[in-house]
Amino acid sequence: MCKKTILPLAALFLTTLAIGQNDIENVVVETYYVSNANDATDTIGGGLVAGSRTYRVFLDLCDSCALRSIYGDVNHVLEIASTALFFNNRDRGETYGHVIPNNRLDENTVALDSWLAMGAASNQKFGVLKSEDPDGTILDANDGGSAQNGPLLVNADPDAGIPLTQQDGLVPLGGGSALPPGFNATGTTPDSIFSDSIAGAVFSSNDTRISCTTPGVKGPTVESKILIAQLTTAGELSFCLNIEVERADGTIIKYVCGDSVVMPDETVNGLLVYPPECGCTDPNFLEYDPNAGCDDGSCLTTILFGCLDTLACNFDPAANFNIPQLCCYGPDSCNGLDPNILCPGLGFDDEQRIVEWQLYPNPASAVLTIRAQGLSGQAKLVVLDALGRSVLESTVTPNGGEGRTDLAIDRLARGPYLLRMETEGAVWLRTFIAQ
C-alpha cells in the first residue's frame, strides 16, 4: 500500500463525512434556573411549581452557518414535550422570545416563561449561556410586588450553575430590534402550547414552520450559539427538532432528528434529539454512529483505509475499511491511479521483470509447490489468512530454470489464503486453498 496516495483520498472521505455533522457542532441544554417555594408564591405570573427547572436550548452552529428555520413536516415531527405542564407566565408570557419587552423581564416570573426563539430572549437582547454572559444581570432581587415571603429568582441551587442574581444570560444587541429577519410562523404554531393562558405538556406538529429569511440568524458571539427555546417545567424534558441551516455560500441544508424517512436533501443528526441517544461520535472510528447525540466511549477501532481485495496488487492486510477505488490490478486496471505508485516494484514499465508463476496443487494439504519462471535470487514468501494476518513466512531461493520451490503448509488450518511473493524490486500475489 502506498500511503502517499491513500491518505489524501482517506482525508477526502472523512471531510465528506464530516461536513454535514460539522454544520451543527453541538446542541446545548442549559439549566437556567431552579425555582423554589418562594418563587411559587408569585400570584401575578402564577402557576410556577416549586422545583421547576428552566431550560435553555442552544444550537451551536459552525462559525459561518446561520439558522433559517425550525420545522415539522409530513415525514418529520417537531416535538417538544415534558412529563409535567410547561410554565407559561400569565402576566407577560409570550410564544416567542423576541416578542417579550425587555423592560418586563425583571417583573415577577416573566424571565422564566416558556417560549421558542430564533436567537432572542427579549425584543432587545440575545440569549447566551450564563457562563458566556459578560454584563451581569437585571434580575437581581426581583419581587415584582407579588412575592409573599421575599424576592423572586434568587435561588442559588448549584444544579443551575451561576445564579441569576449574578448573570442572566442576556446580552444587548447594540441597538435595533431582536426580530429575526423576515420572521414568519406558519402551520400549527406554538401558540397552542406556549401562550400566556395555556397549560400543556406536549407540542407535536407535522406542519409547523418557524423561519426567517437570508442571511438567517447567527449567535451573538463568534461561537455562534443560537438560543432556540426556553422551557420551564417540573417534569422531564424531551424534544425532537428539525432545522434548516444556511451555509456561507447560501446553500440550505435540512437536518432532521428521526431516520424513519430521510429524503435526499435531508441529513439525520442525533444532536437534535433530547435526551440524546449515545454512541461513537468520532468518524475516525469504525464504530462511528452519525445518529449518536453523545459519546458513550464505544469508539474502539481506528479506521485504516486501504484496498481489501486480495487479488489487487496493493492489497493491504492492515486496512479495515475498504476503498475499492484504491485497488489496483495492473497497468490498465488501476482506477486512473499510477500503478507504479500504488504497487511499487511490480515492474509495469519493465517487461524483463515480468515473472510467470503458478502454484500447485491447489487446493494443497501438506506442501505447496511454487514455480516462478524467470525469477532469480532470493524471494520472501508471506502467507496471509482471510483476516489479512501473516500466518507463515519463509525466505527461499528457487531452484533451476523454472524457479521451483516447495513450501510446507501442513500446519495451516483449512481455508483460503493469500501468498505474497516479494523480491528486491517486485511483489506478486496468488490465492490458494489449504485442505
Q: Could you tell me the pTM of the whole model?
A: 0.68
Q: Which of 32-36, 217-221, 318-322, 414-418 has the highest mean pLDDT?
A: 32-36
What is the mean pLDDT of the segment spanning 124-137? 93
Instruction: Return the C-alpha cell found at 178.
Output: 431582536
Each residue's pLDDT tens digit, 302-327: 888 788 988 888 888 888 888 787 78
- For the segment 155-174, what is each residue's pLDDT rounded down to a tens digit? 999 999 999 999 999 998 76
Q: What pLDDT does residue 234 have?
A: 97
Main-chain phi, psi angles of 235, to 5 degrees: -105, -170
pLDDT digits (tens, 9 = 90+) for 323-346: 787 788 877 788 777 777 778 766
Where would I find the H helices in 275-410? 339-342
Q: Which of 185-199, 366-380, 420-434: highest mean pLDDT?
A: 185-199
- Quote the pLDDT of residue 163: 94
Query: What percent of the chain stands above pLDDT 70?
Result: 84
Kindly provide the residue ranges of all beta strands, DSSP E only, lying in 97-169, ordered along the sequence.
115-116, 125-127
Q: 373: which DSSP letter?
A: E
Closest CA to 155 of 196, 109, 194: 109
Domain boundaries, the chain: 3-268, 304-344, 355-434
pLDDT score recorded for residue 350: 47
354 has pLDDT over 50:
no
Query: How buried is 281 (Cβ within 10 angstroms: 0-12 exposed, 13-18 middle, 19+ buried)?
Result: buried
pLDDT-derived band at 298, boundaries 50, 70, 90: very high
Domain formed by 355-434, architecture: Sandwich (2.60)
Query: What pLDDT is stored for residue 161 in this prediction?
Result: 95
What does the mean pLDDT of the chain come to? 83
- Least confident residue range of 97-111, 201-215, 283-297: 283-297
In this predicted structure, the answer to whether residue 145 has a pLDDT above a threshold of 60 is: no
Buried/exposed code over 300-336 (b: 16+ C-beta within 10 A; e: otherwise):
eeebebbbbbbebbbbbbebbeebeebbbbeeeebee
Contact 317, 384 (CB under 8 A): yes
Q: Output the pLDDT for position 430.
A: 73
Q: Say what the pLDDT of residue 126 is.
A: 94
On the question of pLDDT at 136 being above 50, the answer is yes
pLDDT tens-digit series, residues 66-121: 999 999 999 999 999 999 999 999 988 999 999 999 889 989 999 999 999 999 99
Between 298 and 294, the more confident residue is 298
> Is residue 139 over pLDDT 90?
no
Whether residue 419 contacts residue 430, with contact meaning beta carbons closer than 8 Å, is answered with yes
